[in-house]
């Protein structure tokens, strides 16, 4: 055995060996339990940053564990290759986006291989490939034929810098999620996925995902925004109707004006004064967030509506604080009981009429809006009724008159997928003056992008390509035009995980294979996609199920949101700050395994990690310590190559203690990796290493050798190159990656303790040590009495206690 570990030579050697022997190839062996582990596939930026390295090291460690445990493991990787950044980068560099993407993909793949990630590259997918384009266009057409995708002219979010439409989920604090330019509203025809048809199922389904972080589920609950209320129809004096949605129908007698969003279609059909049109156009240039921060402003339309409950004539205004994204885009303004309406009414001298008496401050003078409940006043026959009762009574009265109905509204809007850019999946629709919108025939798919394109000018680049745009109608054979837009890249990523098991199929996926391997058992990625990729993927799965193409309801069983890797001071890494850590430099200096061990050991997976320049060196020191340990016992390891820790040789003394610790470590590393507690797993391995150093030099060599063999097999998922090299240089048979996972000998743990992870709302709080024979009530009581857990539960309502035997307790609190 060499005196020192040469990480550069070893990593090159073992990466080549794995490439040649393909030990990570997914076999689809139906005799084994299936396991699908996946990280969110990356955008092809060409740069693998240190956050990627942390994320992928987690998935790779779990995949290696599951293979060793005998699972049929599907662990693929692919590329989110379409998108505006690639298009812009290519334009700046004078390249075609396809050329830029190919170069970026090759660079990132090389970086992944240098990390020793055990992907099955035979399953690699690229969303810009002809195969993927065709598969997605087939799905689009199926959605089109079933009415799940439709075209409509509507006010949408427009990024002036990117010159394209954005979905609501892609607008962050009023700015484009990509370039941070202020987003404005624009009225354009668009294709939409009817995601609102699944709003209830998307919301209620969150309760069936116990292994998702509560933070993600709460973000989605808020974004869907289900509200129970009443839709009330006001008639206008020109014979039209304006519908409003309210959660407070008890305040209807207090309505003194209606306020419309500037986008409201009612305004398109009315003769409006110039000042109304000017105001409307001005507000449409502002983002929703900008409008919310402004003082409440508006303009009277010159029109009136009739309150259906009392026949009162109320003016119709356009106001900057009313939006189309919730309700109907029109509100019944009740200044006495809504703070925004109160502020607006005071600014424009509109009436403020109290209709719900504040029980704590009765009186006729209002200096602010009272938004609570109470007893109705000034409300005709409903005066004196409690507001909760009046809400039902007034709603029932409106329903009897045919002027209202109890209903449910959602904050969630339908998903706009049209993008006015070149580098995306073309929308497979043609437009005929006689036949309307027609799907491209299946035999003509894939509809591919033209190679020659002019990026100068306004609008979609495809619209300026006559050769691309001009076609014939598939129905009547007459002249037709193609759709000039491409699909939102989030469409590409909303179903890619279905494609991996059969990446080259003509059909989007093989149902039998997909139904066996999915849903994904462990999915790893950032929380920033809670209302983007994760919401869209859930919708797509439910829609495909209803089309008869899938047999399951949710895409991901367990979701893990990894923490960010910051610089040493806690700042986000940025090229402009000059604080970016380059993985290649760290790998070259200390080795891929040292980087992996450092990233996994330093803190819990879901917490931020502040980079330490000494961290990889410390991890390298630990691996070198294991190397020296193997070197010390090399002759014993060569004589005991079977890697067996014989119980008969561990009856007493140091050997018995070591055997107990070995099997305790097997249990801890196994359970901790399964629950993503990599840091405590590595800590247990370090503890075992220390015990082996303390094992007497004159102790039984077979016992020491057996324990080291177990240590190497447990360490292999974290440090794969290193353990393969030690294994080979000490006479181990075969590859470590091909060794079965060590099993716990329960006899060795008699009288020992077991460790239970304690979570609150899915977040790790503490590790609890209890006796092997402790039952569930005893363990729950002990967890509640733990100092950290007890402090977190103090004063909170525990809605549910989830106990996974011998593994974890999760207290779900309100």
Task: Please report, to the nearest 10 degrees, the dihedral formed by the alpha carbons of residues 469, 470, 473, 479 taken in order.
Answer: 140
Task: Return the HEC string of 410-459.
Answer: CCCCCEECEECCCCCCECCEEEECCCEEEECCHHHCCCCCCCCCCCCCCC
Q: Which comes out higher in pLDDT, residue 402 or 172?
A: 402
| C-alpha distance from residue 241 to each of 261, 293, 307, 373, 404 (Å) | 15, 30, 11, 29, 12
The pLDDT assigned to 702 comes to 92
Q: Which comes out higher in pLDDT, residue 393 or 572?
A: 393
Tracing tokens 């409003």 back to the chain, one arrives at: 244
Residue 291, class by beta-carbon neighbours within 10 Å (0-12 exposed, 13-18 middle, 19+ buried)?
Answer: buried
Coil, strand, or helix at residue 523? strand
Rounded Cα distance, 534 and 501, in Å: 20
The pLDDT assigned to 363 comes to 59
395: which residues sit within 8 A by CB, 6+ positions away?
230, 249, 404, 405, 406
Rounded Cα distance, 327 and 264, in Å: 11
The pLDDT assigned to 642 comes to 56
Contact 353, 378 (CB under 8 A): yes
The pLDDT assigned to 713 comes to 97
Q: Is the pLDDT of residue 803 over 60?
A: yes
Coil, strand, or helix at residue 2? coil
The pLDDT assigned to 772 comes to 63
Q: Which of 294, 306, 304, 307 is nearest to 343 (CA)?
A: 294
Least confident stretch, 131-145, 340-354, 643-657: 643-657
Q: Is the pLDDT of residue 426 over 70?
A: yes
Q: Which of 447, 454, 444, 416 is nearest to 536 (CA)?
A: 416
Least confident stretch, 125-129, 144-148, 504-508, 537-541: 504-508
Query: What architecture is domain 575-745?
Result: Orthogonal Bundle (1.10)
| pLDDT tens track for 447-484 | 999 998 888 877 789 999 999 999 999 999 999 999 99
pLDDT band of residue 751 (cuts 50, 70, 90) is low
The pLDDT assigned to 478 comes to 96
Helix axes 678-694, 653-674, angle to 10 degrees: 170
Task: Return the HEC string of 765-777.
Answer: EEEEEEECCCCHH
Q: Is the pLDDT of residue 518 over 60?
A: yes
CA angle 263, 266, 269 (to 5 degrees): 115
Helices (H), 470-606: 489-493, 496-499, 511-517, 533-546, 583-590, 592-601
Q: Give the dihedral sign, CA 198/201/207/208.
A: negative
| pLDDT tens track for 479-510 | 999 999 999 999 999 999 999 999 999 899 99
The pLDDT assigned to 365 comes to 63
Rounded Cα distance, 748 and 752, in Å: 8
- Mean pLDDT for 627-652 is 85
Instruction: Take residue 4 and report the two structure tokens written for it.
Output: 């020192």
CB atoms within 10 A of CB 663: 22
Q: Which comes out higher in pLDDT, residue 285 or 198?
A: 198
Give the class (CATH, top level) of 227-409: alpha beta
Q: Is the pLDDT of residue 752 over 70?
A: no
- Mean pLDDT for 536-559 is 97
| pLDDT tens track for 242-281 | 999 999 999 999 999 999 999 999 998 888 899 999 999 8
Number of helices (H) and strands (E) in the chain: give both, helices first.
26, 33
Residue 172 phi/psi, 5° resolution?
-110, 115
Q: What is the mean pLDDT of the chain?
A: 92
Rounded Cα distance, 401 and 418, in Å: 41
| pLDDT tens track for 45-101 | 888 899 999 999 999 999 999 999 999 999 999 999 999 888 888 888 889 999 999
* H or E element at residue 398: helix 387-401
Helices (H), 327-386: 339-348
The pLDDT assigned to 290 comes to 76
Instruction: Take residue 228 and report the two structure tokens written for it.
Output: 């129970």
The pLDDT assigned to 773 comes to 64
Contact 634, 651 (CB under 8 A): no
- Mean pLDDT for 770-784 is 81
| pLDDT tens track for 658-690 | 999 999 999 999 999 999 999 999 999 999 999
| pLDDT tens track for 690-726 | 999 999 999 999 999 999 999 999 999 999 999 999 9
Helices (H), 76-198: 84-93, 97-114, 130-145
The pLDDT assigned to 541 comes to 98
Contact 297, 320 (CB under 8 A): yes
The pLDDT assigned to 763 comes to 82
| C-alpha distance from residue 685 to each of 62, 232, 396, 428, 716 (Å) | 16, 66, 68, 55, 11
Least confident stretch, 3-12, 75-84, 181-190, 587-596: 181-190
Q: Is the pLDDT of residue 644 over 90?
A: no
- Mean pLDDT for 414-433 is 95
| pLDDT tens track for 5-17 | 999 999 999 999 9
Percent of the chain with pLDDT strictly greater than 70: 98
Contact 212, 762 (CB under 8 A): yes
Contact 416, 488 (CB under 8 A): yes
Rounded Cα distance, 292 and 174, in Å: 10
| pLDDT tens track for 224-239 | 999 999 999 999 988 8
E strand intervals along 284-423: 298-306, 313-319, 330-333, 356-357, 375-376, 404-409, 415-416, 418-419
| C-alpha distance from residue 316 to each of 237, 247, 276, 286, 331 (Å) | 11, 20, 11, 22, 10
Rounded Cα distance, 218 and 211, in Å: 14
pLDDT band of residue 159 (cuts 50, 70, 90) is confident
The pLDDT assigned to 187 comes to 80
CATH 3.10.20.590 fits 753-813, yes or no: yes
The pLDDT assigned to 162 comes to 78
The pLDDT assigned to 78 comes to 97
Sequence ranges of the domains in the chain: 137-194+416-487, 227-409, 575-745, 753-813
* H or E element at residue 487: strand 486-487
């Amino acid at each position: 055995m060499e005196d020192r570990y040469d990480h550069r030579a070893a990593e090159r050697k073992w990466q080549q060996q794995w490439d040649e022997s393909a030990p990570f190839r997914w076999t689809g062996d139906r005799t084994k339990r299936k396991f699908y582990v996946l990280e969110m596939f990356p955008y092809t930026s060409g740069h693998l940053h240190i956050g990627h390295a942390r994320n992928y090291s987690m998935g790779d460690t779990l995949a290696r564990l599951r293979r060793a445990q005998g699972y049929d493991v599907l662990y693929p990787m692919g590329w989110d290759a379409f998108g505006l950044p690639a298009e812009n980068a290519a334009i700046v560099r004078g390249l075609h986006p396809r050329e830029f993407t190919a170069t970026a993909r090759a660079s990132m793949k090389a970086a992944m291989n240098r990390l020793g990630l055990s992907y099955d590259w035979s399953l690699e997918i690229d969303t810009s490939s002809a195969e993927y384009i065709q598969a997605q266009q087939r799905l689009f057409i199926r959605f089109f034929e079933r009415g799940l995708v439709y075209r409509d002219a509507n006010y949408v979010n427009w990024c002036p810098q990117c010159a394209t439409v954005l979905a609501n989920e892609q607008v962050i604090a009023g700015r484009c999620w990509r370039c941070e330019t202020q987003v404005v509203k624009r009225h354009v025809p668009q294709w939409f996925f009817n995601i609102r048809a699944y709003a209830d199922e998307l919301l209620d389904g969150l309760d069936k995902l116990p292994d998702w972080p509560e933070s993600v589920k709460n973000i989605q609950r808020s974004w869907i925004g289900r509200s129970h209320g009443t839709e009330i129809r006001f008639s206008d004096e020109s014979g039209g109707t304006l519908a409003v949605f309210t959660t407070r129908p008890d305040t209807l007698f207090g309505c003194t004006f209606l306020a419309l969003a500037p986008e409201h279609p009612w305004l398109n059909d009315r003769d409006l004064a110039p000042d109304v049109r000017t105001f409307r156009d001005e507000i449409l240039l502002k983002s929703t967030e900008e409008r919310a921060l402004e003082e409440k402003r508006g303009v009277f339309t010159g029109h009136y509506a009739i309150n259906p409950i009392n026949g009162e004539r109320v003016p119709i205004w356009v106001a900057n604080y009313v939006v189309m994204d919730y309700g109907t885009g029109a509100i019944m303004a009740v200044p006495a009981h809504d703070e925004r309406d109160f502020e607006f009414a005071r600014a424009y001298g509109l009436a403020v009429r109290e209709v719900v008496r504040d029980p704590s401050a009765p009186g006729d003078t209002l200096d602010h809006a009272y938004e609570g409940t109470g007893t109705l006043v000034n409300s005709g026959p409903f005066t004196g009724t409690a507001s909760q009762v009046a809400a039902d009574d007034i709603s029932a009265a409106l329903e009897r008159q045919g002027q209202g109905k109890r209903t449910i509204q959602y904050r969630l809007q339908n998903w706009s997928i049209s993008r006015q850019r070149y580098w995306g999946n073309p929308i497979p629709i043609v437009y005929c003056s006689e036949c309307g919108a027609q799907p491209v025939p299946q035999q003509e798919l894939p509809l591919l992008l033209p190679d020659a394109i002019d990026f100068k000018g306004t609008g979609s680049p495809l619209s300026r390509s006559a050769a691309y745009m001009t076609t014939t109608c598939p129905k009547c054979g007459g002249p037709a035009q193609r759709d000039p837009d491409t699909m939102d890249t989030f469409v590409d990523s909303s179903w890619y995980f279905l494609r991996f098991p059969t990446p080259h199929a003509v059909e989007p996926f093989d149902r039998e294979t997909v139904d066996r391997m999915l849903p994904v058992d462990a999915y790893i990625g950032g929380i920033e996609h809670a209302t983007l990729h994760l919401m869209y993927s859930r919708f797509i799965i439910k829609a495909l199920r209803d089309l008869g193409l899938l047999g399951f309801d949710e895409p991901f069983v367990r979701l893990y949101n990894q923490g960010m890797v910051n610089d040493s001071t806690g700042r986000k890494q940025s090229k402009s700050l000059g604080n970016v850590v380059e993985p290649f430099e760290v790998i070259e200096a200390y080795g891929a395994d040292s980087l992996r061990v450092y990233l996994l050991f330093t803190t819990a997976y879901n917490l931020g990690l502040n980079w330490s320049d000494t961290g990889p060196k410390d991890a390298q020191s630990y691996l070198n310590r294991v190397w020296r340990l193997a070197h010390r016992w090399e002759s014993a390891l060569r004589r005991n190559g079977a890697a067996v820790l014989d119980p008969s040789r561990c009856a007493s003394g140091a050997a018995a203690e070591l055997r107990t610790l070995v099997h305790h470590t097997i249990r801890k590393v196994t359970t901790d990796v399964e629950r993503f507690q990599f840091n405590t797993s590595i800590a247990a391995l370090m503890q075992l290493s220390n015990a082996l150093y303390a094992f007497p030099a004159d102790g039984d060599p077979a016992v020491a050798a057996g324990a080291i063999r177990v240590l190497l097999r447990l360490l292999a998922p974290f440090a794969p190159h290193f353990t393969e090299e030690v294994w080979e240089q000490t006479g181990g048979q075969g590859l470590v990656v091909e060794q079965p996972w060590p099993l716990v000998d329960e006899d060795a743990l008699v009288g020992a303790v077991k460790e239970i992870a304690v979570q609150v709302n899915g977040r790790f709080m503490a590790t609890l040590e209890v006796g092997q024979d402790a039952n569930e009530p005893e363990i729950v009581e002990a967890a509640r009495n733990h100092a950290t857990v007890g402090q977190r539960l103090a004063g909170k309502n525990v809605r549910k206690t989830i106990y996974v035997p011998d593994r974890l307790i999760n207290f779900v609190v309100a």
